[in-house]
Structure 1
Amino acid sequence: MTRKLRVGLIGAGIAQRHLAGYNWNKDLFEVPVLCSLDEDRGRQAVAEFGVGEYTSDVETLFARDDLDVIDICTPPDSHFALSKRAIEAGKHVICEKPLFGSIADVDAMSEIVGKTDRKFMPIFQYRYGTGLQKLKRLIELGLAGRPFLTTVETHWWRGPAYYEVPWRGKWASELGGGLLGHAIHAHDMLNYVHGACAEIFAHGATLVNKIEVEDTMTLSVKMANGSLAALSMTLGSRKEISRLRFCFSDMVAESILEPYTMGRDPWTFIAGTPEHQARIDAALAEHQVTEDGYTRQFELFHEAVMTGGEPPVTLEDARNSLALVTAAYHSQRTGQPSQLPITPAHPLYGSWLP
């Protein structure tokens, strides 16, 4: 019989999407307790999702011996300290994006976790959309060919009301702007398909709202696998879209435009010849569709804990994602291309905060 993992959840905003994911995996997880400083929203989430109890005292979660996992859904500036406390308390950790505020923090957490048998999983639930999973499968089967160019557009709208939440739009608490908090999922999908970046040149600006951080940015990227990528992000698009387009020697893959679920079907996969199109279509017809989003990522996390394997998203995956951010901020400020990987010698290794 499969053992359920017992989760202590910290937060009551994006945490509600996590609770929905746990509820779709009721045979794998239960959530005895939710902790939030926002008592009204916390108690509402507890009632709506059938959580055992509400608390405002986070220290009680670390002290409990009946919890297997601490799931952190708080503002970004608190992620590292809460993660460290949870690992030291002997818990597995799930943590929302953006993970931390520097590559140094990721490396420090890797060292902390490496001294234990605990699992640490950053959240990148967009990876599990059926469309993106089909692309991964075609690449594994050798049907895509050599990668040439990827374009990623994250064109969303965020007006002044969005920034009435006190921690948003500020370097100290949000740690960055649209590049870090909004486009991070689409850019993770780039890394998920092609691996790490090798060089980035970026322009960024604050054009849409009166905030401290960037809300519009363009990036020109060389990937370590030799391909190129062009990334654009704005929070000033009155029509919201997300689009990923992957050009390979033997096919083009293109996502849907739905801004918040662009990993899902129906993606298009267009080959260069009728014969190769038939091979692609045959492979897609055999693709096994699974759950997606948080539901699938949590399911795979449970499997990793039970088997002792790697979590489906690792600290190294989060490092690649935040290395892209670090290099982009460095390029924006220096007006020069920024090289990767980001090492301790890099001027923004310890923090990209200005």
Structure 2
Amino acid sequence: MIRVAIVGTGGISAAHLAAYLSFPERCQIVALCDIYPEKAAILKEQHKLSCDIFSDSADIASRDDIDLVSICTPPYTHADLSVQFLNAGKHVLVEKPMSSSLAECDRMIAAAEKAKKILSVVGQNRFRDPIMKLKQVLDSGKMGKVVHAQVESYWWRGHVYYDLWWRGTWEKEGGGCTLNHAVHHIDMLQWMMGMPTKVQAIMSNTSHDNAEVEDLSIAVLSYPSGALAQITSSVVHHGEEQQLIFQGEKARISAPWKVYASVPKENGFPIKNVELENEIEQLYNELPSVPYSGHQGQIDNVLSAIENDTLTVLVDGYEGKKTLELITAIYMAASTGQQVELPLQPDSLFYTREGIMANATHFYEKTNSVTGFAKNDITLGGKYE
């Protein structure tokens, strides 16, 4: 039986809790931790848990009966907490984004390697049927070389969203919609296409004058193959209609799923390649479904690695760092107005948290700060089916 602690009992912790509770024969939640222990107590009561409650992460680290810790706290705490738990011999599953800076990622990866423990970064959309199947269709090569990718990470958040005490600042949230919302789509893009070599970007704050950070950014990525990708990250898009589109030499595929293939007429104008469309459609439909979806799928992946005594998970620290590196490059390009080349080096102005705070564009000063909302129900966009 794998014994689990959840640190941070805000909104996203519910997804972790539900996933762990779906595997009662494999794991047990033995501790909840929050700097506001009354929040943890409410969660414990809601789910009728038999567990201890702590307000200090050191109490979790010192427990010998905890194997795995889920970190569901604000981004600026991720590195210190992960290192603390890894040094104490615990496996770690940390929410997105991995941390506030690439330097912190390096610390986390080094701690995991030294402790010989799992460090997994939440990328739950990789564990959804439409995304897993899209990846496999891309890898099949049936659509040819990818020449263009389009990522629309469209979310909408009201003005009051940034009143929460840790949101809306470079110091504590680490960024705006590019880091904390589009991270899902950027993770999926780099998983499917790899890392670009050059990034150009612009960003703005159009609707949230209670936040230092951006609420809209647009980036263009250049790949060694000559392919281009564009990413729009937003919390100002009503309807939250999100998609990933890949244009190949022979066909176009996307999530939500759609396939379209063209061949040229004698004059170069397109006509449908029905045969290839049907072939790709058949491949997609015949691919197996994931056994568990979303956070449940990722937690199954981590539990299985622990049970099989392996450190191999789908989204490890190196994968988490790649995603953050791409986001950091977008911030650097947008803040400096210059094209950024990857990989970023440790002497980059944006490699450390302090460097980001000093050099990233500050749009407004945060004026309001609340410790929590009376109701904190989370609504989710991004239906890929």
Shorter-chain TM-score above 0.5: yes
Structure-1 separation of matches of 2:48 and 2:245: 40
Deviations 1:52-95 (A, max 9, x none): 22222322111111110111101111111111110111000110
Report what 1:34 is aligned to.
32
| 8 A Cα contact 2:68 2:90, kept in partner | yes
Deviations 1:94-135 (A, max 9, x none): 101111111111122222221222110011101112111111
The one-letter amino acid paired with 1:353 is M
Report what 1:157 is aligned to.
156
Is the partner of 1:30 in helix, strand or coil? strand
Q: Does 2:348 align with 1:350?
A: no
After the TM superposition, which residues 90-109 of structure 1 pair with which residues of structure 2 at under 5 Å, given as runs?
A: 90-109=89-108
| 8 A Cα contact 1:33 1:51, kept in partner | no
After the TM superposition, which residues 43-122 of structure 1 pair with which residues of structure 2 at under 5 Å, given as runs?
A: 43-53=41-51, 54-122=53-121
What TM-score, normalized by structure 2, do the two folds share? 0.85
Report what 1:269 is aligned to.
259
Match for residue 4 of structure 2 among 7, 11, 30: 7
Distance apart, 1:335 and its partner CA = 1.1
Greater displacement, 180-189 / 34-43: 34-43
Evaluate the alpha carbon distance shift between residue 48 and residue 224 of structure 1 in structure 2; reply closer, same or farther with a 3 A threshold. Answer: farther
Distance apart, 1:224 and its partner CA = 4.5
Structure-2 separation of matches of 1:23 and 1:283: 34
Evaluate the alpha carbon distance shift between residue 30 and residue 251 of structure 1 in structure 2; reply closer, same or farther with a 3 A threshold. Answer: farther
| 8 A Cα contact 1:151 1:245, kept in partner | yes
The one-letter amino acid paired with 1:325 is I
Is the partner of 2:29 in helix, strand or coil? strand
| 8 A Cα contact 2:83 2:107, kept in partner | no
Report what 1:229 is aligned to.
229
Structure-1 separation of matches of 2:261 and 2:82: 45
After the TM superposition, which residues 308-347 of structure 1 pair with which residues of structure 2 at under 5 Å, given as runs?
A: 308-347=310-349
Evaluate the alpha carbon distance shift between residue 225 and residue 29 of structure 1 in structure 2; reply closer, same or farther with a 3 A threshold. Answer: farther
**Identity of counterpart residues, as a percentage?**
29
| 8 A Cα contact 2:61 2:88, kept in partner | yes
Structure-2 separation of matches of 1:141 and 1:309: 27
Report what 1:214 is aligned to.
214
Rg (Cα) greater in structure: 2
Distance apart, 1:277 and its partner CA = 2.2
Q: Does 2:286 align with 1:282?
A: no
Deviations 1:155-180 (A, max 9, x none): 22111221221111111111111111
The one-letter amino acid paired with 1:237 is H
Q: Does 2:307 align with 1:306?
A: yes
Report what 1:182 is aligned to.
181
Evaluate the alpha carbon distance shift between residue 278 and residue 42 of structure 1 in structure 2; reply closer, same or farther with a 3 A threshold. Answer: same
Evaluate the alpha carbon distance shift between residue 67 and residue 226 of structure 1 in structure 2; reply closer, same or farther with a 3 A threshold. Answer: farther
Structure-2 separation of matches of 1:275 and 1:319: 40
Distance apart, 1:215 and its partner CA = 0.8
CA RMSD of aligned residues (A): 1.6
Structure-1 separation of matches of 2:346 and 2:31: 39
Report what 1:248 is aligned to.
248
| 8 A Cα contact 2:79 2:107, kept in partner | no
Report what 1:296 is aligned to.
297
Structure-2 separation of matches of 1:16 and 1:81: 22
The one-letter amino acid paired with 1:104 is A
| 8 A Cα contact 1:20 1:49, kept in partner | no
Deviations 1:11-63 (A, max 9, x none): 11111111011122223221111111233321121122343222223221111
Deviations 1:181-212 (A, max 9, x none): 11110111101111112111010111111111
Q: Which runs of 5+ in 2 are unaligned?
A: 263-272, 359-385
Structure-1 separation of matches of 2:102 and 2:66: 29
Runs of 4 or more consecutive aligned structure 1 residues displaced over 4 Å after TM superposition: none
Structure-1 separation of matches of 2:339 and 2:83: 34
Report what 1:260 is aligned to.
none
Distance apart, 1:309 and its partner CA = 4.1
Is the partner of 2:313 in helix, strand or coil? coil
| 8 A Cα contact 1:147 1:249, kept in partner | yes
Is the partner of 2:142 in helix, strand or coil? coil
Evaluate the alpha carbon distance shift between residue 45 and residue 217 of structure 1 in structure 2; reply closer, same or farther with a 3 A threshold. Answer: same
Report what 1:16 is aligned to.
14
What TM-score, normalized by structure 1, do the two folds share? 0.92
Structure-2 separation of matches of 1:26 and 1:249: 47
